[in-house]
Structure 1
Amino acid sequence: MMISQISVTFGSQAILEQIMYKYPERNLALFSAAGNAHGMQLVDYSGLDSIFTSPVVYRVNAHAGTDDWTHYIDYIEVNPGKEQRQVLDAQVSNFMSNPATPKGLTGVYYLTAANNSDSRILLTLWNDHYDCLQWEDGTQNAFIAYDNFKNDLGADYHEVGYQRFQPKA
Structure 2
Amino acid sequence: MNNQIVITFGNEEILSELKNKHPDRDLVMYQALSQPGEYMLLDHSGKDPVFKAPVYYDILSHSGEDDWNGFISFSTLDLNFDQQKVFDARINKLRSDGLPDGMHSIYSLNYHKDISQRIILGSWDSYSDFELWKNSSDEFIPKEYRDSPSFYSHEAYYTPAKPKN
TM-score (norm 1): 0.90
What corresponds to 1:128 in structure 2?
Answer: 126
Could you tell me which residue of structure 2 aligns to residue 157 of structure 1? 153
Letter in 1 for 2:133: W
Deviating runs (4+, > 6 A) in structure 1? none
1:28 corresponds in structure 2 to 27
Looking at structure 2, the residues matched to 103 and 36 of structure 1 have their Cα atoms a distance apart, in angstroms, of: 27
Q: State the percentage of identical aligned residues.
A: 29
Deviations 1:107-158 (A, max 9, x none): 111101104222111100001111111111112xx133274423152x4211
Partner of 2:88: 89
Partner of 1:12: 11
The alpha-carbon deviation at position 89 of structure 1 amounts to 0.8
Segments of structure 1 that go 5 or more residues without pairing to the other structure are: none
State the alpha-carbon separation in 1 of the partners of residues 4 and 128 from structure 2: 27
CA contact (8 A) 2:75 2:120 kept: yes
Corresponding pairs, count: 164
The CA deviation string for residues 11-44 of structure 1, in whole angstroms up to 9 with x for no partner, is 0000000110011111211111113576111100
Counterpart CA distance in 1 for 2:157 and 2:115 is: 22
Mapped to 1, the partners of 2:38 and 2:142 lie a distance apart of 23
Q: Distance in 1 between matches of 2:149 and 2:85?
A: 15
TM-score, normalisation: structure 2: 0.92
What CA deviation, in whole Å up to 9, does each residue of 1:44-94 have, x standing for no partner?
A: 011112111111100111111111100100011111111011110111111
1:17-166 alignment runs, 5 A limit: 17-35=16-34, 39-99=38-98, 101-139=99-137, 142-145=138-141, 147-150=143-146, 151-153=148-150, 155-166=151-162
Partner of 1:144, secondary structure, is coil
- The answer to whether the 8 A contact 2:58-2:113 is kept is no
Q: Is there any run of 5+ residues in structure 2 with no aligned partner, and where?
A: none
Q: Give the match's secondary structure for 2:164.
A: coil
Separation of aligned partners in 2, 1:28 and 1:14: 14
Bigger shift: 37-46 or 118-127? 37-46
